Amino acid sequence: MRLPEIDRGDTLKHRVLIAMISRVSGLRLPDAARVAFYHQDFAGPVLGAWTQQTMRGPSGWSISERELMAAAVAAWNSCPFCVGAHGAIAVRGIDRRTVNAVLNDYQTAPVTDRLKAALTFNDKLTRTPNTLSAADAHTALDAGLTVADLRDAAAVASIFNIITRYANALGFQIPSDDDFDKSADMLIKRGYA
């Protein structure tokens, strides 16, 4: 059940802030941000800080690669909002045809063996986590990932396995491609926190 407070804001301060951000940006504030205002004890500062560190903190993965991993997790979890949002950011540094190929079938996509190994690990972490084992980590490391690379890739999968589920549960509104692009520009500049 979607609460009206998510759309309009649960306090006068949040209602004004949502209206102001929407007016200044020229687009409807995405539901992900609206949830962060509404449910601050869950989707607010703590989740925002974890997402910021995972997606924008120091890493051997580029921002576009991490965003592509997030979009892939979203695709595996059938979350069109997150596929659109994170795919729109991934194309800022990765060719759109490559992003689409990964989202269609990463195993045949024209990406590095290193990225394919991370996606393989994250696929299993997302779809069949009970079968994930140390052997899967060793396979990823043998494919060229460092321990830090694997940890960072797993962090992307972990956080987006949470985010995609609440996006689906709350029925996030799917913006237009133009609005996804505008939101992508904001997330590149401002980050997630």
pLDDT reported for residue 169: 83
pLDDT reported for residue 172: 83
pLDDT reported for residue 182: 85
Domain boundaries, the chain: 4-190
CB 110 within 8 A of CB 88: no
- Average pLDDT value for residue range 155-165: 95
Instruction: Classify domain 4-190 at the CATH superfamily level.
Output: AhpD-like (1.20.1290.10)
pLDDT digits (tens, 9 = 90+) for 114-157: 999 999 999 999 999 999 999 999 999 999 999 999 999 999 99
- Mean pLDDT of the chain, nearest integer: 88
Distances in Å between the alpha carbon of 145 and those of 80, 117, 153, 156, 160?
A: 29, 8, 10, 15, 20
- In angstroms, the CA 154 to CA 156 distance is 5
pLDDT reported for residue 158: 97
Quote the tokens at residue 98: 């490559």
